[in-house]
Amino acid sequence: MPPSARADSGVVSDQRTPAPPSSRTPEFRGQVALLTATGVVGCAAAVAAWFGASSVARWTVIVFAAVIALRLGVRIVRDLLRGHTGIDILALTAIVATLAVGEYAAAMVIVIMLTGGEALDEYASHRAKRELTALMTRAPRVAHRTVSSNSAENAGQSEKADRVESPGGCESPGGCESSDDGDSTRGSAIVDIPVDTVQPGDVLLVRPSEIVPVDGVLRSESASFDESSLTGESLPVERVTGEPVMSGAVNGTAAILMTATSTAATSQYSQIVDLVREATEGRSPLVRLADRYALPFTVVSYAIAAVAWIVSGDAVRFAAVLVVATPCPLLLAAPVAFLGGMSRAAKHGIIVKNGTALELAAHVRTVAFDKTGTLTDGRPILLRVVTATGNDATGDEVLAAAAAAEQHSSHVLAASVTQAAVDRDLPLADVADAEEWATHGVRATVGRHEVVVGKPAFVAETTGAVEELDLSGGELAVYVGIDGRYAGALLLADPPRPDAAQVVGRLRALGIEHVMMLTGDAEPTAQAIARQVGVTDVRPECLPVDKVTAVRTERARPIMMVGDGVNDAPVLAAADIGVAMGARGTTAAAQSALAVLLKDRLGLVADLVAIGRRTVAIALQSIWIGIGLSIVLMGVAAFGHLPPLFGALSQEAVDLAAIGNALRALTNARPNARVDTHRSAPPGSDAIAPTEQFTAP
């Protein structure tokens, strides 16, 4: 059966290519192979010693440990040539020292510890990246395009053509008819094509439970989608004819038709996948800080080992100290914690591109917001209708006339006017003709009436004098004339998001006292919104270069900038950490930012700060757990109370404790945790926002 199975067969074609290969990396497979070889050699040496072949056991361990030491030495030299001062030299010295004093079992345990720790690091990294890579592994590869039956046959593709399934699931030899606007797909067939070949304007079929391949507009009467993997919304999202459909969403229980508005490469899902790919790259300064601990930790370890040897005259103590000084916690804990924090953020709908962004979020001291689309919803709403003095038309009649005239306009306010009429269930009369004058307004024949909508001067050309409204900050007026007479005005405003004031309060509770607004709007509008959300530092009438200057000259750093538009891209890149409102924001903004919010929810900004602080706290805590326990064990070994073999086993327990603690960054913070409101959470704290309770999506 061809990839596109016959509809009447009851078999739904597989939209994706065969299951992708194992997500385990070659590095992980190599570490597992090395760990397996280490286990085999260790068992062989133990069996040989058990049966009295001690020389065989000894030489088996010596040869294998020497190979591992040589491999480690090559890596150390390579790192030194790159300018990296690592702490693997302690492990190398410990292997050589234990072999030199005849502690072959301890040498073998150290080798097992190193290979096991590296394999555990790869495993923990893989676990921490699962949520980040989930989007990449489920990307659709195939789309079902509708074509005429004749076109399919002429193209020699009739064997792949399927009958069109209607949104209601009907099937007929001739196909089904779309139920949206009368555009018929009767006599059409569907052809499976690579998703990369989809073009804007293509009519696509999406079967039940399939993934929407590209962005588009719904043609079917209604549909339900699961957008949880994109936005974190746990409930199904209902769409109706003409509403946008997001690529990557999972279709509900009925087949639907949609019109593509983008290619696969430019679709929102593809952009998210690109962001996820970026998120797996980069190295946090805190990880480099762990590397900087290497030199003092190495010096202290060698000093304790040397003193123990000199005072006791026993070289075994020298080896024992170096065995417990093997610094796996420093190597593993910080990267695992940061990957865990990035994964945790992804579960909340926040893509963090690298560990640097997460650490900067933890220490941010200033947050700057764009206004339109960030602190506000970006969609003006109708406040009220003001009818003209002495005019017989009611407010609903004025609104209905204006909405009918505006319904085909591309102006930013046209959609708001039309939506206001729809919300009031007002019928919109047919429009015989409409003419739009850019930046001025619209003239249209609505039913039997001549309607003009737009600026007061534009409307006055037809109606004579209009009654201009006295507007307060943030308000807009659209004036309406009907049949040559001034009929009234529509008062609109772009209000703050419902949670904007709460988010500003949460940021201040997290210790971020400086919150500013950078906007291109006039000062009255900017000040009106700022008063409502609680922002006192307002910078109005900013061009993109002015926003960049404001961010670069800010003294309270690090500074976080939150925006959504193309004009925000430069300032998002200039800030220490840029945060893009990716759910409705532009591609330019998302690409310029270090973090992207996949949900259209401003509260995620405070969530990002809380997750960053908790991640940094866990990373530092894990590092100090490893260092502290290692120093204690070194002291015990220096006094001769910890033989090399038991020291190696003890150090393995230290490694597991540090890594296990670092993996807590993957989990939810404990409920009702308190936050130090004046500084970042100290090492060991699980602090999050006072009102925050992270729960799995």
> Do the domain assignments include residue 435?
yes
Residues 372 and 508 placed together within one structural domain of the fold: yes
Residue 157's CATH number: 2.70.150.10
pLDDT band at 102 (very low <50, low <70, confident <90, very high): confident
**pLDDT class of 486 with cuts at 50, 70, 90:** very high
Task: Examine the fold and report which residue of 598, 618, 648 is the final residue of a domain before the chain moves on.
Answer: 598
- Bigger pLDDT: 433 vs 126: 433
Per-residue pLDDT tens digits for 179-188: 444 444 555 6
Give the per-residue pLDDT at 673: 38
**Rounded mean pLDDT, 47-55:** 84
Summarised one tens digit per residue, pLDDT across range 359-383 is 889 999 999 999 888 898 878 889 9
Q: Above 80 in pLDDT, residue 145?
A: yes
Burial 31-40 (b: 16+ CB within 10 A, else e): bbebbeebee
Structure tokens belonging to residue 18: 């065969």
The CATH number linked to 560 is 3.40.50.1000
Highest mean pLDDT among 192-206, 239-253, 340-354: 192-206
Per cent of the chain over pLDDT 70 is 74
**Is 370 considered catalytic here?**
yes
Asked whether the beta carbons of 370 and 565 are under 8 A apart, the reply is yes
One domain, residues 488 and 568: no
Predicted pLDDT at 669: 64
**Where among 567, 598, 629 does a domain terminate?**
598
Q: Is residue 119 assigned to a domain?
A: no
Residue 157 located in a structural domain:
yes
Domain-located, residue 397: yes
On whether both 449 and 561 belong to a single domain, the answer is: no
Q: Round to the nearest angstrom and report the end-to-end CA distance of the chain.
A: 39
330 located within any domain:
no
Dihedral over Cα of 98, 99, 105, 108: its sign = positive
The residues with which 226 forms a beta bridge, in sequence order, are 250
Do 433 and 563 reside in the same domain of the chain?
Answer: no
Whether residues 221 and 366 fall in one domain: no
User: How do residues 234-249 score in pLDDT, each as one tens digit?
Assistant: 456 788 898 999 888 8
Average pLDDT over residues 413-435: 89
For residue 49, count other CB atoms closer than 10 A to its CB. Answer: 18
**Which of 562, 581, 598 is the endpoint of a domain?**
598
Most confident of 176-185, 461-470, 498-507, 684-693: 498-507
pLDDT at 135: 53
CATH number at residue 431: 3.40.1110.10
| Confidence band for 214, pLDDT divided at 50, 70 and 90 | very high
Pair 447, 367 in one domain: no
Least confident of 443-457, 562-576, 629-643: 562-576
What are the residues whose beta carbons fall under 8 Å from the beta carbon of 92, sequence distance 6 or more? 69, 72, 73, 76
Q: Are residues 514 and 454 in the same domain?
A: no
In terms of residue numbers, what domain contains 446?
A: 381-493
369 and 431 fall within a common domain = no
Range from 21-30, 170-179, 605-614 carrying the lowest mean pLDDT: 170-179
Asked if residue 9 is part of any domain, the answer here is no
Average pLDDT over residues 86-92: 72
* 328 — pLDDT class (breaks 50, 70, 90): low
pLDDT band at 592 (very low <50, low <70, confident <90, very high): confident
Do residue 363 and residue 466 come from a single domain?
no
Q: What was the pLDDT predicted at 442?
A: 92
pLDDT at position 623 = 80
Number of domains in the chain: 3
pLDDT at residue 460 above 90? Answer: yes
Whether 670 has a pLDDT exceeding 60, the answer reads no
Strand partners, 443: 435, 452
pLDDT range class, residue 163, cuts 50, 70, 90: very low
**CA atoms of 219 and 76, how far apart (whole Å):** 61
568 and 511 part of one domain: yes
Q: Hey, what are 138's tokens? A: 């489920």
* SS3 label, residue 1: coil
Are 481 and 451 within one domain? yes
With cut-offs at 50, 70 and 90, classify the pLDDT of residue 229.
Answer: low
pTM of the model: 0.63
Residue 274's nearest CA partner among 440, 422, 135, 76 is: 135
9 has a pLDDT exceeding 50: no
In a domain, 253, yes or no: yes
Domain check: are 403 and 546 in the same one? no
Q: Is residue 312 part of a domain?
A: no
Are 602 and 371 in contact, with CB atoms under 8 Å apart?
Answer: no
Q: Which of 162, 180, 202, 370 is catalytic?
A: 370
pLDDT level of residue 581 (50, 70, 90 thresholds): confident
